[in-house]
Structure 1
């Protein structure tokens, strides 16, 4: 790696292309989940442009192949190779197949795929609430399964795309699947995003001896992605009024992918692990939820919560 930008030049308006400028990833391999749309595509583009061989891990392989062909036509010469693999995070068998088919080291795992604000309570085939299962459990199973490949890379990075939505709810361990409390699209989304941050905390502690760094991030307020396909703006406004929360300023998709790429590839963050980033910098702790448009909740960084979630997740995906 060479010629990185100085840290202070990166911020809310930085793009993934600017972050990756001067970084050389030739000889490295990456997996980006949900890379058939939105910031997943831009993350894959930036990593491949720097020379990484990138696997687009997607539910719809036809869409993935279309994206791969488009990127190959747009990427500069000497870019990394793009391949497409099937991965449906709601279907544990596809996770197991993806892991079983992987050979060799894995240097970068970007847990980018997700669903947001499903309007009605939806369960996976194994009975889990859909948002928690897709956003957290599927990625947990994937990362655990790929741990030997990550360890073999000698300096791998795991990047989990979380959200300011983690402020909507902690992980409610006594009712993860809404069997006793009324379902709410936003608290469900919130606990799944809190779980993304807690996974990074847990993985950083458990896998440091393997040379694996793990981080979580808030990409930004990006409306123009498939993640927002279930979004009910009136319902969201009501939730915001009730909680006193506010949305941060909007970003483009290119800006939204920047923090993912920074954590996946930039030498600026070498040597640190288990953190939560936003706008290409480490986030401050939120002490008051009302009015917050940035920051990370203490419960999302709590090591006891991370340990409890890890144990629960192992039991649920076993």
Structure 2
């Protein structure tokens, strides 16, 4: 079956049996996270929704159960709180086959964690980085594992500015912060695959498409409209089931067995951006191996 921007997560996973597989979906209480968890569980996976708000997670789990009879687990995880991430990874027991790094924050006013880190980078990248590296033994024990990191076309707003990641010197703008955090999601896929492929762990990033979800709660409508107008095909708004399709494709498609370090959109590998200033495709800086290795080392040093 040929997939495109209208494909749903249910269509992607049709015929795929995930019985015996264990999966974690961060941010699985709302938006495309709910549909991601729903279809994974419906295909037989043992799914855990990792969320800040456990009550919201339980409500989502109940809705999934009502929809297809599948049961999902709920666990507390605040990606902006490294103590919460450490508690989650310490509590996880046994193998882990699938991790969907779905949670995120988009374009808030300048906000800092207690460590002084800019919130978007702290949540979207450092939180997921700490989660994945902390769960490495469980991936390695799975005998084959995949990580799908939900990035964005918004990565085109900015590379990672290593000289001032946390906006201590330069002027903060919400979309520059968002852009570099999404670039970091893609660079993580590049370097994690390089380091972990020999252990059977493959990591890819993806752009889910234009979807109206709670992610945009900090964005004023004028900025949101402007951003969408810059994107080719922006008139098409995906449903959450369509938005979850590429996450499910990256996490489960047999076509991607042994494939990592790439970026996908509309259930296909993203094409390179043609020229600077274009707001489509994948920027070369987001796939740069040197930047990916540097980000890994900076992230380790930041969290140490």
TM-score range, shorter-chain basis? over 0.9
Counterpart pick for 1:296 among 274, 282, 287: 282
Q: Which residue in the other structure is 1:115 paired with?
A: 105
Which whole-Å deviations, capped at 9, do the CAs of 1:244-270 have from their partners, x for residues lacking one? 666733211110000000111121211
> In the alignment, is the contact (CA less than 8 A) between 1:221 and 1:247 conserved in 2?
no
**Could you say what secondary structure the match of 1:27 adopts?**
coil
Instruction: Give the corresponding residue for 1:233.
Output: 221
Q: Are the equivalent residues in 2 in contact too, given 1:215–1:273 (CA < 8 A)?
A: yes
1:184 aligned partner: 173
In structure 1, distance between residues paired with 2:187 and 2:224: 24
Could you tell me how far apart the structure 1 residues matched to 2:43 and 2:63 are?
17
Q: Which residue of 2 aligns with 1:50?
A: 43
The reply to whether residue 313 of structure 1 matches residue 299 of structure 2 is yes
> 2:264 maps to what in 1?
277
* Structure 1 residue 232, shift from structure 2 partner: 1.1
Match of 2:122 in 1: 133
Are the equivalent residues in 2 in contact too, given 1:167–1:297 (CA < 8 A)?
yes
The TM-score with structure 2 as length reference comes to: 0.96
Q: What's the RMSD between the two structures over aligned residues?
A: 1.5
| Structure 1: segments with no counterpart, 5+ residues | 1-5
1:281, distance to aligned residue in structure 2 (A): 0.2
Q: How does 1:1-318 map onto structure 2 within 5 Å? A: 6=1, 9-76=2-69, 79=70, 81-118=71-108, 120-223=109-212, 225-236=213-224, 248=234, 249-292=236-279, 294-318=280-304
d(CA) in 1 for partners of 2:64 and 2:94?
A: 24
Write the distance in 2 (CA, Å) between the matches of 1:245 and 1:20.
27
User: Take 2:43 and 2:137, find their aligned partners in 1: how far apart are those partners?
Assistant: 25
TM-score normalised per structure 1? 0.92
Alignment partner of 1:255: what SS? helix
The 8 Å contact of residues 90 and 133 in structure 1, kept in 2 or not, is answered as yes
1-side partners of 2:259 and 2:94: how far apart?
25
Distance 2:247 2:274 in 1: 25
Match of 1:3 in 2: none
Q: CA deviation at 1:74?
A: 1.3
User: What count of residue pairs does the alignment treat as equivalent?
Assistant: 303
